[in-house]
Amino acid sequence: MRATRNAPCWCGSGRKLKRCHLDPAALRRPPIELGKVTPLRDVPSHIVRPHYVEGGTVWPPPTPQILAGAALDRMRHASRVAAEVLATTVAAAAPGVSTDDLDALAHDTYVRLGAYPSTLGYHGYPKSICTSVNEVLCHGIPDRRELRDGDIVNIDVTAFVDGMHGDTSATVGVGTIGAETAALVDTTREATLAGIAALRAGEPIQLAARAITAVADTKGYGVVSEYGGHGIGEVFHADPHVHHTITSRDRAVAEPGLCITVEPMLRSGAARFTTAEDGWTEILDDGMPTAQFEHTVVVTDDGAEILTLLVDGSSAVAGPSPTTNG
């Protein structure tokens, strides 16, 4: 159900939405409409494809990816390529640019860097990135819909190169976004980095979930429990499942060399979502925005190192977005 100003806030505070988690710009916006999806893009034959693209058996098995030496060097490279593709694509997000335009730019950038876009042909997914706009939680398929001033969009990039996958995403504002939406984006970035900073070899991976939840709680935002991070390396989605919410069922312990993603989704509205007719796009029922950031990391003796950084060590999307009130 769509959110309304006078209904009780989803967060359980007992106050009306307009006195609690009100995002006026989001409330004014019509529900997201999915646009036309363009034909599949080609990848030149010299670019090596992951095994699942050619069909056949699933290989290698999705066991935890513990990397060292030359394998970790290849993982660093794939992760850096993903970060470069993300930085290039994020820089092009602007009013009037379609998410399909972003897909085309990302696609050409992967290819130029010698990488295969891991999502293209993954369980039938048709594009080279995911673009999740406003109330789209994740797995939005790039289409002809043009971005509008005030939208937010998560761009999720996964690059396969030298036999390794690197996976990273960021949410950015399009043009000028409302202050409430910007607070959600900035808190989500902060929660992601806090989750990564909480990881330690020999300690439960749940420490990341605790740190993420603590940051979300400072603003009363919800953390999506249905999606989490994952092991990553030669396999796109490997064990362990990285929960971002607190659960007693998660017994996984970090160890040196373990490569995983941390990729929490935060929401300023209610938790319910529905899969669109395309079978991929997950859309929050109340129409309130959701943000996500993602890094691929390797666990070290005294913490976790972010691998999806640019060559100068910076992040694709470091800072807050320009905002307007109302």
| Interaction site with Co ion (CB under 5 A) | 156, 167, 169, 261, 294
For residue 156, state whether it binds ligand MF3 (rule: CB under 6 A).
yes
Residue 103, phi then psi, degrees to nearest 5 = -60, -40
CA torsion sign, 66 to 61 to 41 to 96? Answer: negative
- DSSP assignment letter at 8: B
Report what 80 binds from Co ion, ligand MF3, none; CB cut-off 5-8 Å by kind. none
Q: What is the CA radius of gyration of the chain?
A: 19
321, 180 Cβ separation under 8 angstroms = no
Size of residue set near ligand MF3 by CB under 6 A: 12
Rounded to a whole number of angstroms, the minimum distance from the CB of residue 21 to Co ion is 26
For residue 167, state whether it binds ligand MF3 (rule: CB under 6 A).
yes
Structure token digits, residue 264: 């929490």
Quickly list DSSP for 190-225. HHHHHHHHT--TTSBTHHHHHHHHHHHHHHT-EE-S
Within residues 273-292, the interface with ligand MF3 by CB under 6 A covers 280
Query: 225 or 323, CB closer to ligand MF3?
Result: 225
User: Per CB under 6 A, which region of 22-30, 38-46, 117-125, 204-212 contacts ligand MF3?
Assistant: 117-125
Rounded to a whole number of angstroms, the minimum distance from the CB of residue 293 to ligand MF3 is 11
Per CB under 6 A, the list member of 130, 211, 309, 317 interacting with ligand MF3 is 130
Per CB under 6 A, the list member of 263, 266, 296, 309 interacting with ligand MF3 is 263
95's CB contacts (< 8 A; 6+ apart) are 146, 147, 148, 149, 174, 175
For residue 103, state whether it binds ligand MF3 (rule: CB under 6 A).
no
Q: Where are the alpha helices (DSSP H) in the chain?
A: 24-28, 69-90, 99-112, 179-197, 206-219
Q: Which of 206, 166, 199, 142 is nearest to 84 (CA)?
A: 166
Per CB under 6 A, the list member of 92, 94, 108, 125 interacting with ligand MF3 is 125
Per CB under 6 A, the list member of 77, 107, 139, 165 interacting with ligand MF3 is 139
Q: Where are the alpha helices (DSSP H) in 52-199?
A: 69-90, 99-112, 179-197
Query: 27 or 115, CB closer to ligand MF3?
Result: 115
For residue 294, state whether it binds ligand MF3 (rule: CB under 6 A).
yes
For residue 52, state whether it binds ligand MF3 (rule: CB under 6 A).
no
What residues make contact with ligand MF3 under the rule CB under 6 A? 119, 122-123, 125, 130, 139, 156, 158, 167, 263, 280, 294
